[in-house]
Amino acid sequence: MESPLQFAYRTQKTIGVFDAAPVYEPLAGFKKPEGNLRCSDYSPCGRFFGWASPESVTVIDTSTGLELLNLPLLNVYELGFSPLGTFIITWERPAKDEAGDATKNLKVWRTVEEDVAPADKLPLGRWVQKQQGGWNLQYTADEKYCARLVTNEVQFFESHDLVTVWNKLRVEGVATFALAPGTQNHAVAVFVPERKGQPAVVKVYNVPLFQNPISHKTFFKGDKVQLKWNKRGSSILVLAHTDVDKSGKSYYGETTLYLLSTNGAFDARVTLDKEGPIHDVSWSPNSREFGVVYGYMPAKATIFNDRAVAKHSFPLGPRNTVTFSPSARFVLVAGFGNLAGQIDVYDLEKDFRKVCTIEGGNPSVCEWSPDSRYIMTATTSPRLRVDNGVKLWHVGGGIMYNEDMVELYNVVWRPAAAEKAVAGNPLDPVPTPHSSAATYLGTVKTPSKPAGAYRPPGARGLATPLHFKREDEGGVAHTVSNGTQNVGPNGFGPRRRGPANGNDREFRSRSRMNDNAGRGNTPFGVRGDSAAQPGALAQQDAQSSNPAAAPDAQSSNAKKVRSLQKKVRAIEDLEMRLAGGEKLEDTQLKKINTKSSVLKELESLERELELADDIESDVATSGPFLHVANGSLLVSPPSDLFVYTAPKAQLCVASAAVVNLAALESKAFGRAPVELAGMAKPSAESIEDYDYESLPPNFSLLQNMVAGAFAGIAEHTAMYPIDAIKTRMQVLNPNTTTVPTGLLRSTYQMASSEGFFSLWRGMSSVIVGAGPAHAVYFATYEAVKHAMGGNQAGVHHPLAAATSGAAATIASDAFMNPFDVIKQRMQIQNSSKMYRSMVDCAKYVYKHEGIGAFYISYPTTLSMTVPFTALQFLAYESISTAMNPQKDYDPVTHCLAGAVAGGFAAGLTTPMDVIKTILQTRGTSSDPQVRNVHSFVGGCKLLYRREGFRGFFKGVRPRVVTTMPSTAICWSAYEFSKAYFIKRNDTL
């Protein structure tokens, strides 16, 4: 007969072993022990079951219930078995002997030992283990080795000899370790938490090859971890925890998840698309996928493959547990603890179809049976001291067995190999439930259907609107609002209903514009009829797309009015400061003197807006009108008439001249006998747009320098890690150890061995030097370009651009060269002296090499940077002028033009860069011909003789790829700062 499923339980007064489906009866031959029973457990092979009482440790055969071992041990609080059940491990409460020394309380015994009485048994090994957490030994799957953690090392023993340490894995600060469960090879993972500003690290080693890790992962936010191996031991999940969430979003800290392979071919952070903590992680028994429950409630559950790529996500819900069945066919997603206790079961072989939902009550234990047919739930103490008991559910959702108990502490299935336990389809046929299941169903109250939220009659029976759904369920993003916002003309909100500063005229005109904003959209006939003629709507649509439409003109004038009002307020503020005795600058006094002209221009624009508003107000009763605005003849409201656009030289009017079309005779399309003699020229000058590229008179040298400094710091900071790797790769290392040649591999090695922030070592020198150097750079560039006439809109001066770029380079390199020397010394300092700071490095170089060391590369640098900058500025001005002839501020144009110009200049100046590298590294070369190169010409001859013309373009690709983002960032930052100061100066 097939061996039935079995589970064991421990209550306050007894321990029971119960044969489950299909017999549902206690194990025959087992005598229940009574008393204070502190712990119990099955062996991983399922052959043995043991428990501890205050006086002894007992082991039975799970098939017969007969006692196999009774060890007279006192105060045993923990026990466990080796994977094959050969050894039993016990942990006693720490104590001291008569001499005051700690007793060896961790002991290993042989489970079955023939011809040896239990009283005569001696432990195979024993140690002092003070902490109860992590007390047990860890065995390899074949029981060949076992290991335990001590301070700064993991000690390995051969299982048959626990007296002598077989090998040691020495890792400074190791806090946790885990042996791989696979049988093909033995591996161990160790975790070292963050300390002294260094990141946490997880390393994987082959046993016993402990010289170098086969895989490792460094990360921050890791105070403690859970190490979860897959069944084959080929990959490991690292669930990292922090005690404190620095963002303040969670009281319980932060969690992150990482995946590593044991062969070192893959490691990555698992990307989770919902913010919040990670509640649970579980491997599938097939070792090819794992499940994660994460995010703030309602949480999200997702299945990933063994490369951390999401395969399927389940619906959101109150869930915090995910468990795969031993057969790997089903997955259980549930919510326990402070959640409702619902259990969802999905069939992975049927395209993640939901099998059932189980209302499990409030369980604290949920486990699959070894044959994947049943799910056991239990409510245990001390979490809950009421409603304790065990329930068995079929995978299809029906309850099979129920037993209530008093103060149930633990319940567990007897382990069994999945390949031995699984037979047939777990879903079919459905087994016959025990009689206790029917009794339980008779006592369970059917939950009443929730009343739900109130819905008005007009919304009943309809689908829920999207704005009532969560955004991640297809609803629209929620916008916080205190009420409906009425959008006024020109896209602005409703205007105020009272004058803010006593300006009644402005308030009346704007109120009329707001009240009549919707009337102009109603079509009228030629004679004022409310119904339009056929085809009028089509012509109205065509006319509404005309660029000279009246709303655009009013919008432009309204913007100008707001700008002038802002200037008036600023002038009044300056007058108040002057009246208070404050001393003002000359530019501020000049601004006060412009008040009369600003007020005159503001009054003119307000009259125009008021007149246009009167037109809109009277059209509804008087019929359509013809009026002039911004050089165009318009019909108000739009009708099936005409729109005539004239040059501004012929119609020099900014206000409107109005003619009643109802009093005129109809003429041919496009002609109208309209008299325009009454139109007058405006009294104020028109407001001109910014000429962005030509600097205004008050754009100071200081502001030019600030814009350049911002551009330089932004460029060097963003590209600094690449520059650090380039410096490391260019320096000839006398060490014979193999050095990675690729950019990514070099970055990975530097970050992992020296810390992630080592990529930015020496950046303080760049920030201190690059800001002033680029300030000098762009200030010189603008001054020279302006002097040579290169700032005229629509005109391109190649000579001015190239000359200004070269002059700027000579000036800035003279300032930047010492800081560049300090920067490179600090970037490679691991190979020589460790500098404490930028100042310490500068003192050291000056003391040992003199002031000349800071400028020894200046001539060589100019031989490359002057042509580079001249070509770059020439290309940038040419490309930006072609893309943006008006030279307006356009971030896309500046970014693209900067990137292309930088790549173009870098490619053409590669030969000079190759010769510069030869000259700078010749002192470390073992080649006598290279060491004898003393000039630019000599380097060219040697390079051409050995490698031909192709040698002059070595490294052109990485040079171009590195330079393009750098110059794009530099030009974008500079042009942004420049545009900011222009607009700021205009408002002062």
pLDDT at 576 over 70: yes
- The reported pLDDT for the residue numbered 734 is 38
Tell me if 41 sits within 8 A of 77, measured CB to CB. no
Q: Dump strand ranges (E) for 295-422.
A: 300-305, 310-313, 321-324, 330-334, 342-347, 353-359, 365-368, 374-379, 389-394, 399-404, 408-413
Q: What is the pLDDT of residues 81-139, one digit of tens each?
A: 999 989 999 998 888 888 888 888 899 988 887 767 766 678 888 888 888 888 889 99
Q: What is the pLDDT of residues 938-985, one digit of tens each?
A: 878 888 887 788 778 877 777 787 788 878 887 787 778 777 777 666
Q: What is the pLDDT of residues 713-751, one digit of tens each?
A: 666 666 667 666 655 554 434 343 444 455 566 666 666
Q: What is the DSSP letter of 318?
A: S
Q: What token pair was written down for 293?
A: 């429950």
Contact partners, residue 541, CB within 8 Å, separation at least 6: none
Q: How far apart are CA 924 and CA 251, in angstroms?
A: 57
- The reported pLDDT for the residue numbered 538 is 40
Phi, psi of 253 (to 5 degrees): 90, -170
- The reported pLDDT for the residue numbered 751 is 65
Among 172, 134, 137, 133, smallest CA distance to 155 is for: 137
Highest mean pLDDT among 80-84, 819-823, 825-829: 80-84
> Which of 69-83, 476-490, 776-790 has the lowest average pLDDT?
476-490
Helix axes 763-787, 701-730, angle to 10 degrees: 130
Comparison of pLDDT for 536 and 806, the residue scoring more: 806
What region does 219 belong to: left with phi over 0, alpha with psi -120 to 50, or beta? beta
Number of CB atoms found within 10 A of residue 45's CB: 17
How does DSSP assign 62-77, residue by residue? TTT--EEEEE--SSEE
Q: What is the DSSP letter of 471?
A: G
- The reported pLDDT for the residue numbered 700 is 55
Continuous segment of H or E residues that includes residue 572: helix 550-579
- The reported pLDDT for the residue numbered 177 is 92
What pLDDT band is residue 323 in, cutting at 50, 70 and 90?
very high
What pLDDT band is residue 752 in, cutting at 50, 70 and 90?
low
Number of CB atoms found within 10 A of residue 781's CB: 27
- The reported pLDDT for the residue numbered 467 is 57
Q: What is the pLDDT of residues 342-370, one digit of tens each?
A: 889 999 888 889 988 888 778 888 898 88
Q: What token pair was written down for 45?
A: 């092979």
Q: How far apart are CA 412 and CA 49, in angstroms?
A: 11
pLDDT at 580 over 70: yes
pLDDT at 683 over 90: no
Tell me if 270 sits within 8 A of 292, measured CB to CB. yes
Contact partners, residue 430, CB within 8 Å, separation at least 6: 394, 396, 398
Helix (H, G, I), strand (E, B) or coil at 348: helix
Helix (H, G, I), strand (E, B) or coil at 796: coil
Q: What is the mean pLDDT of residues 783-805?
A: 68
Contact partners, residue 847, CB within 8 Å, separation at least 6: none
Phi, psi of 9 (to 5 degrees): -135, 155
Domain ranges of the chain: 546-688, 701-987
Give me Rg for the CA atoms of the chain: 41
Contact partners, residue 741, CB within 8 Å, separation at least 6: 729
- The reported pLDDT for the residue numbered 743 is 57
Among 797, 773, 798, 712, smallest CA distance to 972 is for: 712
Q: What is the DSSP letter of 276?
A: S
Q: What is the pLDDT of residues 269-310, one digit of tens each?
A: 888 888 888 999 999 998 889 999 998 888 899 999 888 889
What region does 887 belong to: left with phi over 0, alpha with psi -120 to 50, or beta? left
Q: What is the DSSP letter of 17?
A: E
How big is the chain, counted in residues? Answer: 988
Q: What token pair was written down for 251?
A: 């009281």
User: Average pLDDT of the chain?
Assistant: 74
Q: What is the pLDDT of residues 401-457, one digit of tens each?
A: 988 888 899 999 999 876 666 567 888 888 888 888 888 887 776 655 556 667 777
Among 293, 296, 378, smallest CA distance to 334 is for: 293
- The one-letter code for the residue type at 902 is G
Helix (H, G, I), strand (E, B) or coil at 352: coil
What pLDDT band is residue 41 in, cutting at 50, 70 and 90?
very high
954: Cα separation from own chain's centroid? 37
Q: What is the pLDDT of residues 386-403, one digit of tens each?
A: 888 898 989 888 888 988
- The one-letter code for the residue type at 758 is S
Comparison of pLDDT for 409 and 588, the residue scoring more: 409
Q: What is the pLDDT of residues 592-651, one digit of tens each?
A: 888 888 888 888 888 877 777 665 555 444 455 454 444 445 554 444 444 444 443 333
- The reported pLDDT for the residue numbered 698 is 43
pLDDT at 526 over 80: no
- The reported pLDDT for the residue numbered 119 is 65
Q: What is the mean pLDDT of residues 167-190?
A: 87
Q: How far apart are CA 147 and CA 132, in angstroms?
A: 16
Q: How far apart are CA 942 and CA 919, in angstroms?
A: 12
Number of CB atoms found within 10 A of residue 339's CB: 17
Q: Which of the listed CATH numbers 1.10.10.10, 3.40.50.460, 3.40.50.20, 1.50.40.10 matches domain 701-987?
A: 1.50.40.10
Q: What token pair was written down for 606?
A: 């307000």
How does DSSP assign 86-142, residue by residue? SEEEEEEPP-B-TTSPBP--EEEEES--TT--GGG---SEEE----STT-S-EE-TT
84: Cα separation from own chain's centroid? 45
Tell me if 571 sits within 8 A of 594, measured CB to CB. yes
Helix axes 701-730, 743-754, angle to 10 degrees: 90
Exposure string of 473-496, with b = 16+ CB inside 10 Å and e = fewer, is eeeeeeeeeeeeeeeebeeeeeee
Q: What is the pLDDT of residues 538-559, one digit of tens each?
A: 444 444 444 444 455 556 778 8
pLDDT at 887 over 70: no
Q: What token pair was written down for 691?
A: 């000429």
Continuous segment of H or E residues that includes residue 153: strand 153-158
Q: What is the mean pLDDT of residues 461-474?
A: 61
Q: How far apart are CA 388 and CA 386, in angstroms?
A: 5
- The reported pLDDT for the residue numbered 824 is 64
Tell me if 379 sits within 8 A of 364, measured CB to CB. yes
| Percent above pLDDT 90 for the chain | 8
Among 287, 325, 343, smallest CA distance to 421 is for: 325
Question: Where are the alpha helices (H) located in 761-909, listed in sequence order?
Answer: 763-787, 798-827, 838-849, 858-883, 891-908
Q: What is the pLDDT of residues 854-881, one digit of tens each?
A: 776 677 677 777 778 778 778 888 887 8
Helix (H, G, I), strand (E, B) or coil at 203: strand
Q: What token pair was written down for 613?
A: 């508003």
- Residue 208, preceding peptide bond in cis (omega within 30° of 0): yes
Among 844, 865, 881, smallest CA distance to 967 is for: 865
How does DSSP assign 734-783, residue by residue? ---S----SHHHHHHHHHHHH-GGGGGTTHHHHHHHHHHHHHHHHHHHHH
pLDDT at 24 over 60: yes
Q: How far apart are CA 368 and CA 378, in angstroms?
A: 12
